């Protein structure tokens, strides 16, 4: 994926508190310099994004979207973002998930996800995976 | 008293009383004698048979070439085996036969004693077919049970990897000099390890089908959990939800079984769930479309029972469901309600 511009935040959408905390620390150690906003699910993410629509500064530079979440899955969030003409293409959306299933990767591609990153075990590996996904250095 | 020997006529009459077909023939003159048993079996009268060549009259099919039988007859004086004959009415019969060489004067005569074993053979063949079919069914069930076990193992491994990945990452962070919130990281390590422990005990309980401590669970969150674990989840509409006290992992397993079942059996995998409580008792209905002619009764809950339309299941889903419901002192029933397969689960413990 192309480089993520700084100045605007990265939106992390993950239902697991521990994962949000880990991703925040991984991003801090990566080449991405953005502030981080994290929310615990699809509805909160859509609230944040729609609320930020009027305020360019708050609009995400990138959304990192978990797949397996209760209530509203990451794919449903992605589909809703793609269906909204005002939001479609406003910022890149990458899936950030523990699922290495080919079916999930295909579903992400079909729904128009801009990237698919697998959560790694090991902070170095995790940071590398983030750095490899984006052209920032 | 000296036993009187039978007269010729008496001997022939006795021969006629035998149920076996007994006849004799010679190379030169064809069939020489033909008893009543032969007439009963083959339909040809004595007059029709006498003088004819046996193999033409009965259109004999030998299991081995006739020349080989001849060789055995010459060497041993008799041959025992099975041959196929065609009766006068065109029916093929299988007979157990004994060919004996009898020499009368200087004439070499073949005496055949034949017993109809067609029905016996048919029964044996049917029995073999039945046994084979049963074996095939058992083998299919084992294969399906194995596949279910494989899927369970796969799911377990996948679930356990989440907290393990977190623990590895948190340990890395705890070791990282740049980490300035060590206490927070340790707290998360504790929480992930706890989650891992919880997962492992819940798998154990599901595997042993034991009821653990009750949690306050709601139908919609159970449905969410169940759907997230199904590889081909059906589309579910929740008409009404409520909460109850029950073992969360067993209840999730119950919903997984019922919803997975619905997705497999439904003409269209659309499920509707309705829950309501009456005097502390929760009623949950899971409905999905099904062939209106499909007969549904309590036997669907028997182990290894599969509905006709399902070629893939283990036949254990509904049996395990019933066990889980019974562990919660509830009951489960199924019906075909005008083209809707309806499973009704009744559980005590509705939350006020």
pLDDT tens column, B19-61: 899 999 999 999 999 999 999 999 999 999 999 999 999 999 9
Indicate whether A134 pLDDT > 60. yes
* Chain-chain contact of A98 with B165 (C-beta, under 8 angstroms): yes
Q: Decide if A21 and B188 are in contact by the 8 Å CB cutoff.
A: yes
A57-79 pLDDT per residue, tens? 899 999 999 998 876 889 999 99
Give the residue among A58, A53, A134, A55 at the shortest CA–CA distance from A96.
A134
User: Among partner residues A18, A26, A126, which is closest to B188 by beta-carbon distance?
Assistant: A18
Nearest-by-CA chain A residue for B160: A98
A121/B191 CB distance under 8 A? no
B177 pLDDT more than 70:
yes
Among the ranges given (A5-19, B67-81, B153-167, B310-324), the one the predictor scored with the smallest mean pLDDT: B310-324
Neighboring chain A residues of B166 at a CB cutoff of 8 Å: 16, 18-19, 22
- For residue A109, pLDDT over 70 is answered with yes
Sign of torsion over alpha carbons B202, B207, B208, B214:
positive
Nearest Cα residue in chain B from A19:
B166
For B145-185, the three-class secondary structure string (H helix, E strand, C coil) is: HHHHHHHHHHHHHHHHHHHHHHHHHHHHHHHCCCCCCHHHH
Residues belonging to chain A with any Cβ–Cβ distance to chain B shorter than 8 Å: 16-19, 21-22, 25-26, 29, 68, 70-71, 73, 98-99, 119-124, 126
In B180-219, the residues whose Cβ lies within 8 Å of chain A are 184, 188, 191-192
Q: What is the pLDDT of residues A3-36, one digit of tens each?
A: 888 889 999 999 999 999 999 999 999 999 999 9
* Cα B182 from Cα B173, distance rounded (Å): 8
CB atoms within 10 A of CB B21: 24
Q: Which helix (H) or strand (E) holds B202?
A: helix B182-208
* Better-predicted residue by pLDDT, B147 or A120: A120
Task: Determine which of A15, A22, A24, A107 to mutate to test the interface with B (most B C-beta atoms within 10 Å).
Answer: A22
* pLDDT of B315: 53
For chain B, counts of helices (H) and of strands (E): 10, 12
> Each residue of B244-259: pLDDT tens digit?
889 998 899 899 888 8
Q: Which residue has the higher pLDDT, B286 or B3?
A: B286
Virtual torsion, Cα B345, B349, B350, B352, nearest 10 deg: 170
Q: What is the pLDDT of residue B313?
A: 45
Chain A residue with the nearest C-alpha to that of B162: A98
Average pLDDT, chain B: 85
Is the ipTM reported for this complex over the cut 0.85?
Answer: yes
Check whether B270 has a pLDDT greater than 70: no
Q: According to DSSP H, which parts of chain B are helical?
A: 8-17, 36-42, 46-49, 54-57, 66-76, 118-175, 182-208, 219-229, 248-265, 317-327
How much is the pLDDT for B304? Answer: 53
The two most distant CA atoms of chain B are separated, in Å, by 124
B172 touches chain A (CB under 8 A): yes
Chain B hits for A19, CB-CB cut-off 8 Å, are 166
Q: Average pLDDT in the B300-320 region?
A: 57
Q: In this model, does residue B209 exceed pLDDT 60?
A: yes
How far is the C-alpha of A66 from the C-alpha of A20, rounded, in Å? 10
pLDDT, position B303: 57
Q: What is the pLDDT of residues A27-54, one digit of tens each?
A: 999 999 999 999 999 999 999 999 988 7
Among all chains, which residue has been given the structure tokens 């009898």? Answer: B102
Q: Average the pLDDT over B120-132 and give the result.
A: 95
- Taking the CA of residue A120 and the nearest CA in chain B, the distance in Å comes to 7
Is the confidence at residue B170, as pLDDT, over 90? yes
d(CA B198, CA A109): 34
How far does Cα B109 stand from its chain's mean position?
54
Sequence-ordered list of residues with C-beta below 8 angstroms from that of B213, at least 6 positions apart, any chain:
B247
d(CA A52, CA B322): 50
Q: Which two tokens stand for residue B338?
A: 């005008």
Q: Is the pLDDT of residue B160 over 50?
A: yes
Query: What average pLDDT does the structure give for chain A?
Result: 92
Q: What is the CA B169 to chain-centroid distance, rounded? A: 49
> What are the φ and ψ backbone dihedral angles of B321, each rounded to 5 degrees?
-60, -45
Please say if the pLDDT value at position B82 is more than 60: yes
pLDDT surpasses 50 at A102 = yes
Whether pLDDT at B312 is above 60: no
CB-CB under 8 Å, B169 with A122: yes
pLDDT for A104 beyond 60: yes
* pLDDT over 50 at B314, yes or no: no
Are B58 and B43 within 8 A, CB to CB?
Answer: no
| Residue B298 Cα distances to B232, B273, B280, B318, B333, angstroms | 26, 20, 25, 10, 7
pLDDT of B183 over the 70 cut: yes
Inter-chain residue contact B188 with A119, CB threshold 8 Å:
no
- The pLDDT of residue A74 is 92
Interface test with A, best of B172, B223, B226 (most A CBs within 10 A): B172
Measured in angstroms, the CA of A74 and the nearest CA of chain B are apart by: 12
Q: A70–B191: do the CB atoms touch at under 8 Å?
A: no
Nearest CA in chain A to B155: A99
Q: Which of A12-21, B97-106, B117-126, B144-153 has the lowest mean pLDDT?
A: B144-153
């Amino acid at each position: 994926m192309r480089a993520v511009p700084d100045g605007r935040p990265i939106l992390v959408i993950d239902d697991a508190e521990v994962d949000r905390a880990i991703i925040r620390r991984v991003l801090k150690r990566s080449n991405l310099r953005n502030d981080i906003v994290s929310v615990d699910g699809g509805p909160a993410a859509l609230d944040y994004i729609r609320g930020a629509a009027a305020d360019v500064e708050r609009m995400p530079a990138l959304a990192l979207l978990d797949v397996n979440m209760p209530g509203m899955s990451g794919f449903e969030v992605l589909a809703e973002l793609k269906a909204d003409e005002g939001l479609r293409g406003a910022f890149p959306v990458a899936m950030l998930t523990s699922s290495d299933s080919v079916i999930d990767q295909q579903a992400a591609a079909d729904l128009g996800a801009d990237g698919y990153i697998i959560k790694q075990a090991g902070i170095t590996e995790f940071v590398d995976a983030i750095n490899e996904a984006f052209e920032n250095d | 008293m000296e036993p009187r020997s039978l007269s010729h006529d008496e001997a022939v009459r006795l021969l006629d009383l035998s149920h076996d077909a007994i006849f004799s023939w010679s190379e030169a003159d064809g069939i020489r004698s033909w008893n009543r048993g032969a007439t009963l079996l083959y339909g040809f009268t004595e007059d029709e048979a006498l003088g004819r060549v046996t193999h033409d009259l009965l259109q004999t099919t030998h299991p081995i070439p006739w020349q080989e039988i001849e060789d055995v007859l010459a060497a041993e004086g008799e041959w025992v085996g099975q041959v196929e004959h065609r009766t006068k009415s065109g029916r093929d019969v299988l007979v157990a036969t004994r060919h004996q060489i009898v020499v009368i004067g200087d004439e070499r005569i073949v005496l055949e004693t034949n017993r109809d074993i067609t029905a016996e053979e048919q029964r044996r063949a049917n029995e073999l077919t039945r046994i084979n079919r049963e074996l095939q069914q058992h083998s299919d069930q084992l294969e399906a049970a194995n596949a279910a076990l494989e899927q369970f193992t796969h799911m377990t491994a996948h679930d356990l990897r989440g907290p393990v990945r977190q623990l590895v990452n948190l340990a890395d962070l705890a070791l990282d000099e740049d980490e300035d919130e060590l206490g927070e990281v340790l707290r998360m390590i504790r929480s992930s390890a706890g989650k891992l422990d919880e997962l492992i005990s819940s798998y154990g309980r599901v595997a042993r089908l034991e009821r653990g401590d009750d949690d306050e669970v709601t139908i919609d969150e159970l449905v969410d959990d169940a759907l997230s674990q199904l590889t081909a989840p059906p589309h579910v509409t929740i008409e009404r939800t409520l909460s109850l006290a029950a073992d969360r992992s067993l209840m999730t397993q119950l919903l997984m079984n019922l919803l997975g079942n619905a997705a497999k059996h439904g003409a269209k995998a659309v499920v509707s769930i309705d829950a309501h409580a009456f005097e502390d008792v929760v009623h949950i209905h899971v409905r999905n479309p099904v062939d209106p002619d499909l007969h549904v009764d309590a036997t669907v809950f028997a182990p290894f029972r599969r509905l006709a339309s399902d070629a893939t299941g283990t036949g254990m889903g509904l049996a395990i469901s019933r066990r889980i419901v019974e562990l919660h002192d509830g009951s489960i029933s199924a019906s075909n309600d005008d083209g809707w397969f309806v499973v009704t689960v009744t559980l005590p413990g509705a939350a006020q």
